[in-house]
Each structure stands twice: as C-alpha cells, then as structure tokens.
Amino acid sequence: MEPVTLTTERLMLRPFELSDAPAVHAACQVPDIQRWTGVPSPYGLADAEQFTGTAVPESWRNDTAYDFAVVTRADGALVGAMGLVHLARLRTPERQAELGFWTAQERRRQGYTVEAAHAVLRWAFRDLGVERLEWHAEAGNEGSRAVARKLGFRMEGTLRAKRVHRGTRRDVWIGALLPSDLADLADLADLAGETGPSGSRVPAARDTTPYLPYPG
C-alpha cells in the first residue's frame, strides 16, 4: 500500500515519521498506554525511533498494518496513533481488518479520537473494501470501549485468554462494525459522492458479499 494522508476538520492523519519519535516517546510514558497496549515497558526513545522509523514504513510496505500519526492541523501537535492492524484477511474473501488506537493523555476528552476514527472508517469501508471491521481491547479497558461504542461498534462478547500481556493470559473484549451498520450513524451514512484521498469520486460504503445472519 502506498501511504495516504487523511484529513478532518481539526486533524491530519499521516504515516508516522522518524521526527515523531520524541513525541511518541513522551506520550507512551503514560502508565495506561503501557498497561492496555502492546508497547514495550519501560518505553525508551529507541523504541519510539524503531516504531516510527522502521516498523511503520515496513508495515505499510508489507500491508500488515496502516498506522497513522494523528496530529492537529493548527500546530502539528501529536494527538495519538490510529490505524488498521492485523490485515492478513484484508484481501481475502473475509475482507476484514481491525481498528487500533491510543491517545496522548493531554489530548483526551476533546473528541479527537472519535474524529480521527471516523476518517479511518470512511477510508476502510469506502476505499479499501473492508466488509468487517473489528475492535479488540483487553477486558477492563473502559476508555477504549467507550470510543468503540461511540463509533457504532456492536459488542460481540469476550474472548477468553485471547491476549498474552507481560507473560499472563488475559480476556479480550471484541466488537465489530459492518458497512450496513453505518446507516445508523448520521455522520457516516452518506458516503456517496464524497472525495477520496486521491481526489476521485467514490461510491457509498456497502457490503459486496451476501450476508446471511443466523436467525437463532
């Protein structure tokens, strides 16, 4: 995948650059980011440099993850990270991806995370053809679940012992969002006729594979 840039009213989502390493390092010193995400703990500047300068470019190039640095359009300050991860089934009949994110502590409760996620959802469903977008979080991560609910994800249950974190198996909450779910979201429902990252007109998001829900 050739890296793309997405924009919203207040934000720009672009691939991370090595110059972002100091800001990423500072943000990841917050205990709850180390507690709920897979970043190393302790988190050093070398870890941030490896992520921004090596891991992110390689993941875009290898189609394993599309990670964006979320920055403010006003001053370029880092808000957090947002992206699509676990892309092994993106270009298979499953057409599936997972949304992942973290937000710098001082940028929370300002609507930035949901605003950035809306841009990624549009891109995923409309441009990439995603037909099932999952959200995973370790059970107990109420902040992440609150964001997922605001985005319209339907909570589907708990995956027992799904995650190994710091040598311990932990339960994981899972939710999912389908293109057909977007009809319930006023700010995402009307995607027809919008302009994509390339400047081309794009069709509305929709399921292209027939779906037969279990009636029981």
Q: What is the pLDDT along the chain (216 residues), one digit of tens a residue?
A: 899 999 999 999 999 999 999 999 999 999 999 999 999 999 999 999 999 999 999 999 999 999 999 999 999 999 999 999 999 999 999 999 999 999 999 999 999 999 999 999 999 999 999 999 999 999 999 999 999 999 999 999 999 999 998 889 999 999 999 998 886 555 554 443 344 444 433 344 556 788 877 787
d(CA 135, CA 137): 7
**Token pair of 93 as six digits:** 């009949």
**CA angle, 138 then 179 then 82, to 5°:** 45
How confident is the model at residue 193, as a pLDDT? 36
Residue among 50, 109, 116, 36 nearest 84 (CA): 116
Phi, psi of 72 (to 5 degrees): -75, 140
210 CB-near residues (< 8 Å, 6+ apart):
none
> What is the C-alpha separation between 97 and 117, in angstroms, rounded?
14
What are the CA-CA distances from residue 44 to residues 7, 19, 130, 134 (Å)?
A: 30, 15, 35, 30
